[in-house]
């Protein structure tokens, strides 16, 4: 493995400002720095991206799948709406770990269903920025 791709969906660029009682005070840049240090220690590159566009996420999943790179995906609200992301994961044969900062099952009922979960390797939710680190550890240990 030469790189881990961390892909972040809509509104995650607002982390640290958006509903800190739910999402915490860490910014997306703070999360990137945490992961970058862990990857560097393992000699692995980090590809870290965020977009509010579903199409960007689809393209990035396909790119990672094409080179066999594992993906940590926080699809944000697209988790609960996007069959296209499910299709991208399946079609690209990407190894994906789905992450959520909050415990989506302790929130609004519309957040209880994930369209992408059936296509991913595993799901980590509810541990704030630690969710990303747990996903990274799972990648290092199992992929």
The residues that are catalytic are 23, 100
Question: What would the two tokens of residue 75 be?
Answer: 């699809």
For the chain, the distance separating the N- and C-terminal CA atoms, rounded to the nearest angstrom, is: 8
User: What are residue 48's phi and psi, to 5 degrees?
Assistant: -125, 120
Strand partners, 98: 73, 123
Contact 139, 97 (CB under 8 A): yes
Spell out the residues 6+ positions from residue 141 whose beta carbon is closer than 8 angstroms to its own: none
């Amino acid at each position: 493995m030469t790189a881990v791709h961390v892909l972040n969906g809509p509104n995650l660029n607002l982390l640290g400002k958006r509903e800190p009682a739910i999402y915490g005070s860490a910014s997306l840049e703070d999360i990137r720095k945490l992961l970058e240090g862990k990857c560097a220690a393992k000699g692995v590159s980090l590809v870290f991206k965020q977009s509010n566009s579903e199409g960007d996420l689809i393209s990035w999943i396909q790119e990672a799948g094409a080179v066999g790179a594992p993906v940590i995906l926080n699809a944000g609200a697209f988790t609960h709406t996007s069959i296209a992301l499910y299709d991208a994961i399946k079609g690209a044969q990407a190894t994906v770990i789905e992450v959520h900062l909050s415990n989506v099952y302790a929130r609004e009922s519309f957040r209880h269903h994930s369209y992408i979960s059936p296509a991913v390797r595993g799901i980590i939710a509810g541990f704030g920025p630690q969710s990303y680190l747990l996903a990274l550890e799972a990648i290092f240990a199992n992929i």
